Structure 1
Amino acid sequence: MSFHLPDILLSIPRNPVTALGFPLTLGILSGFPTAKVVRGPWYNGLFFPPGRPPRQVFSIVWPLLYLSMGYASHLAVKTLDVSFSSSSSPALTLGLALYYAQLGMNIAWSPLFFGYKQVGVALIDSVLMTGVTLYATMLLDGPTDSRTTYFLVPYCGWLCFATYLNAGIWWLNRRPLSGKED
């Protein structure tokens, strides 16, 4: 099965500056409205699962993860550019397509959770994003001699943790189906 990515999606990670800057810029723009919400009554009225770090941790961790995933995309496209093996090209191409798919889900998560306050929908997004990222990481591992994996594993770990937090928030703040409290 052959899969083709549009040239623009290959040219972005080809340059290391745009490879790093693209996810970082999208992440910052997506998360920008979050600061106001986390200081507001809706967020501060939620129940949280054990292990939630201080909110300042997120503003440190996410930019590092965006840079890390961006560099992994750079390594993947550079490997694709020099790949002489037709057997590794499909894995690289699909891995890069999944990179963009997870990036789209990542950018959608903050507006879903903080903007629209759709904790359950954000949880579905988080579960799918985590699965897609884990699969992309596995696809890119072999063709890049594990170089992308070093940059994606921390992101995969954080996504698992973030999904746990999202699931805990959803569970602890769900409404009874009958609308009555027991």
Structure 2
Amino acid sequence: MLIEQLRPVHAGDYRALMLEAYALHPEAFSSSVAERAALPLSWWQSRLSEEPLAQERVLGGFQDDRLAGVAGLSFESREKLRHKATLFGMYVPDRFRQQGLGRRLVQAVLAQAGARPGVRLVQLTVTQGNHAARALYESCGFVSYGVEPFAVAAGPAYVSKIHMWCNIGFPDTRLA
């Protein structure tokens, strides 16, 4: 599988994959399928900017020229927070799982973050109870630092989110 940065030309495939993710796993995402489906294609294209210092970057895994998984990376722009980036929108459909794609996407996101001047850590949230995703993130170097109760309303229920971070540039994490 090939991992590459998505470009505006991929917006239709990216949109379709993410709408599938929101529909099948509403507890895993803070956006709903209805609100994202209502967005114009131009919104999805803007998320896939090719500018070197774009605020967001989305990586895709391709199998036989077919988009098989995605992971996004959002960079902080405020002066005091520029050392942080956030992994968002990670999704690999069932039909492409158990092939190492999720791990390769996370590793590619960490490499992209590490290549950005000044970025020292990547953070994310994962739904409490999603043991497979949490294990993947932990195996890639993420550690949890807290739980946000009732973080996302998924229909009539609420789910909690585990906050995690990965050190990609601090020489001594005991200073944190």
Rg larger in structure: 1
User: Normalising TM by the smaller chain, what interval?
Assistant: 0.3 to 0.5
Flag the structure with more relative contact order, 1 or 2, with Cα contacts below 8 A and sequence separation at least 6.
1
More helix by share: 1
TM-score, scaled to structure 2 = 0.35
